[in-house]
Amino acid sequence: MIPISITIKDVAKELGVSYSSVSRALNGKEGVSEVTRQKIAEAAKNMGYQPNDLARGLVNKISKTVGVIIPDINNPFFGEIVTGIVEAANENEYNVFLCISNWDPDQEKENFSLLKKKRVDGIILKSIGENGRYRDIRSPLMIIESDNDMEGRQSVEVDNELGGYLAVQHLLNCGYRNLAVILGKEDMFASTRRLKGAKRALNVFGATIEEENIILGNFSIEGGRVAAKQIFKKNRQIDAVFAMNDLIGLGVLQYCNEAGIRVPEEVGVIGFDNISYAGLPQIELTTMHQPKHELGRLLFEALLEEIQEKESTQQIKKISLNPELKIRKTTKCEK
């Protein structure tokens, strides 16, 4: 079952031309007469010739390949981003290696090393928050939500601080006053930014939040459930929670459901990301929308630019998109 692939030499022999001519013709380089170019194109097609990107990569130092390292493809946030990345990549004849770090620094390192062997042209990374480990990565790199330690690296992200601000502003507008916040401990960069925005909104309103009402949870449904339990066990006054992503939000809803707490009457809940399941009629989670698909496309396009730039201007781009408030049924007002 060894696939016999036909090479540039085979088609050269077939036509009795040199194989450099074939190479030139097939790559649209000048130096071939129209006539032979035609003949070559035709023969190549008939013979089912497919260029060998391994060989090409070896000489060009371009593998037409990028790596994507994310923690979890089952989080719809990443799923949609990856969809955008793959789409844009394929349009540019690129393939993408999918790596899953599982929020584990060791696996992430392992992934880097595997990708390096493959000589990918660039990497798109959702960093899992151990600092200073990317300084020595010498290939083009795009960060999904950069941390401070990534200064000097390109990144594409939503304006997280603005997102936090808008989320809490909405909660306040609804009349909720005793807020709790659940941070995602796997990703303190985004969480910290969003929290900063949240505090600013509180501040503008002349309010504050107790440190004890800011808790650390896992970025998962179960993580949200556990965190909510912790919150309400500790403080019955809480009347609204800002969850750092929709998965956590879903977990909060789950807890409220179990504990008989009415949403949005007794407590309001807002999430972040706007994953599709948040919009289910049984859920209707109010949340901050992120343009995930677009984020994915931009991520790849910016990476490609960096790859092709070689050594020109090389200015560090930080692309930032705006999140959008998506009001549904887990908060009790409409503005």
Partner DNA sequence: CTGAAAGCGCTAACAT
Partner DNA sequence: ATGTTAGCGCTTTCAG
Please give the Cα distance from 243 to 225 (Å, whole number): 11
Interacting stretch for a copy of itself, rule CB under 8 A, among 17-25, 93-101, 171-179, 234-242? 93-101
Least distance to DNA, CB of residue 52, Å: 3
- Window 214-273: residues binding a copy of itself (CB under 8 A): 221, 250, 253-254, 257-258
Query: Residue 18 binds which one of a copy of itself, DNA, none, with CB within 5 to 8 A depending on kind?
Result: DNA
Please give the Cα distance from 63 to 37 (Å, whole number): 25
Q: How far does Cα 230 stand from its chain's mean position? A: 30
- Window 48-67: residues binding DNA (CB under 7 A): 49, 51-52, 55-56, 58-60
Please give the Cα distance from 173 to 205 (Å, whole number): 10
Secondary structure (3-state) at 169: helix
Amino acid, single-letter form, for residue 108: E
Concatenating the DSSP letter of every residue in 175-194 gives T--SEEEEEETT-HHHHHHH
Considering only 29, 118, 234, 236, the residue that binds a copy of itself (CB under 8 A) is 118
Secondary structure (3-state) at 321: strand
Look up tokens 């349009």; give the residue: 91
Query: Residue 110 binds which one of DNA, a copy of itself, none, with CB within 5 to 8 A depending on kind?
Result: a copy of itself
Query: Residue 168 binds which one of DNA, a copy of itself, none, with CB within 5 to 8 A depending on kind?
Result: none
Q: Does residue 315 interact with a copy of itself by CB under 8 A?
A: no
Q: How long, in residues, is the chain? A: 335
Considering only 51, 192, 205, 325, the residue that binds a copy of itself (CB under 8 A) is 51
Query: Residue 9 binds which one of a copy of itself, DNA, none, with CB within 5 to 8 A depending on kind?
Result: DNA
Secondary structure (3-state) at 174: coil
Look up tokens 């939040």; give the residue: 209
Q: Does residue 38 interact with DNA by CB under 7 A?
A: no
Least distance to a copy of itself, CB of residue 152, Å: 11
Interacting stretch for a copy of itself, rule CB under 8 A, among 10-18, 112-120, 161-169, 172-180? 112-120
Please give the Cα distance from 110 to 38 (Å, whole number): 47
Note whether 66 and 121 are within 8 A (CB). yes
Give the residues lining the site for DNA (CB under 7 A): 5, 7-9, 16-21, 23-24, 26-27, 29-33, 35-36, 49, 51-52, 55-56, 58-60
